[in-house]
């Protein structure tokens, strides 16, 4: 049984590719783990996992950078995401929001699932198609779901793993705060370095 490492972009796994001397491909097989680069967003992620996820994997590890709602958490910090919500999936009803669960069409929130003990702080997440960058929508989502972070893929990974009953973990490294967009404030390099160093240790200790 193997681990499937899933990320949206190769750039987010740069040091992992370098450490294991891997070819710059979107699907890589190694002895102990495989890597799948899905492309950005929940649709690309669900499609890529739909093609590659199988019972040969006993763990899916979703890695990536993310935006953080909580300014007390430093940029470059790593978080173990225990629950992730498709926050835009549902219907507006005037000023209210109805989830697909409210509408009777299924679930919008999915948990991680693993027996492994991960030595990282835990947090909850939302998964969005549109990166939050507007004060009004940021306040609205903070009031409705109070997430710690947002990404563009996490809930799709948890969803696919729930469909296939495969254990899953999501570790996110904070590259930016959720705020009106200003990429000069992002610390992508630091976030990727910390994420990759953690992943290299995790993967080497697993085998
Ligand atoms: O510009 C670069 O150098 C660069 C290098 C690696 C990755 C990126 C990305 O922009 C990755 C997109 C990826 O990041 C997640 N993300 C990061 N911040 C947020 C956010 O505030 N809200 C939602 N998603 C965020 C997301 O999962 C994207 O897939 C750039």
Mean pLDDT, rounded, of the chain = 97
Centroid of ligand 1 to alpha carbon of 140 (angstroms): 22
Quote the pLDDT of residue 1: 87
60 CB near ligand 1 (under 6 Å): no
Structure tokens at 103: 């509408």
Centroid of ligand 1 to alpha carbon of 157 (angstroms): 16
Q: What's the number of CA atoms in the CB half-sphere (13 Å) around residue 114?
A: 20
- Percent of all residues in the chain with a pLDDT value above 70, rounded to a whole number: 100
Tens of pLDDT along 98-150? 999 999 999 999 999 999 999 999 999 999 999 999 999 999 999 999 999 99
Cα maximum dimension of the chain: 53
Class in CATH terms, 2-206: alpha beta
Residues 6+ apart with CB under 8 A from 25: none
Are the beta carbons of 186 and 175 closer than 8 angstroms?
A: yes
Q: How many CB atoms lie within 10 A of CB 44?
A: 16
**Calpha distance 179→9 (Å, rounded):** 22
Are the beta carbons of 87 and 141 closer than 8 angstroms?
A: yes
Centroid of ligand 1 to alpha carbon of 66 (angstroms): 6
Quote the pLDDT of residue 191: 99
Tens of pLDDT along 173-192? 999 999 999 999 999 999 99
**Calpha distance 156→49 (Å, rounded):** 9
11 CB near ligand 1 (under 6 Å): yes
66 CB near ligand 1 (under 6 Å): yes
The protein residue with its alpha carbon nearest to ligand 1, atom 5, reads 11
* 3-state class (DSSP) for residue 99: strand
Quote the pLDDT of residue 92: 96
What global pTM score does this model have? 0.97
Centroid of ligand 1 to alpha carbon of 94 (angstroms): 31
**Selection from 25, 59, 57 nearest residue 199 by Cα:** 59
Quote the pLDDT of residue 206: 85
Ligand 1 atom closest to the Cα of residue 11 is: 6
Centroid of ligand 1 to alpha carbon of 65 (angstroms): 6
**Selection from 96, 94, 65, 95 nearest residue 78 by Cα:** 65
12 CB near ligand 1 (under 6 Å): yes
Compute the average pLDDT of residues 38-61. Answer: 98
Structure tokens at 38: 């899905």
**Calpha distance 89→148 (Å, rounded):** 18
Are the beta carbons of 59 and 169 closer than 8 angstroms?
A: yes
Are the beta carbons of 132 and 147 closer than 8 angstroms?
A: no
């Amino acid at each position: 049984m193997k681990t499937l490492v899933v990320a949206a972009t190769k750039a987010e796994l740069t040091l992992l590719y370098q450490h294991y001397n891997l070819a710059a491909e979107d699907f890589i097989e190694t002895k102990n783990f495989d890597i799948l680069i899905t492309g950005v967003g929940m649709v690309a992620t669900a499609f890529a996992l739909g093609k590659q996820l199988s019972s040969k994997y006993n763990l899916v590890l979703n890695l990536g950078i993310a935006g953080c709602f909580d300014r007390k958490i430093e940029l470059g910090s790593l978080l173990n995401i225990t629950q992730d919500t498709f926050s835009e999936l549902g219907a507006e009803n005037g000023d209210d929001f109805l989830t697909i669960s409210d509408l009777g069409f299924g679930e919008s929130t999915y948990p991680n699932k693993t027996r492994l003990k991960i030595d990282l702080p835990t947090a909850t997440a939302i998964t969005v198609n549109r990166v939050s960058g507007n004060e009004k929508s940021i306040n609205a989502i903070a009031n409705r779901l109070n997430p710690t972070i947002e990404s563009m893929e996490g809930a799709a990974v948890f969803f696919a793993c729930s469909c296939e009953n495969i254990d899953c973990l999501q570790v996110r490294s904070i590259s930016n705060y959720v705020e009106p967009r200003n990429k000069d404030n992002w610390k992508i390099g630091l976030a990727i370095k910390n994420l990759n160093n953690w992943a290299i240790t995790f993967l080497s200790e697993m085998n």
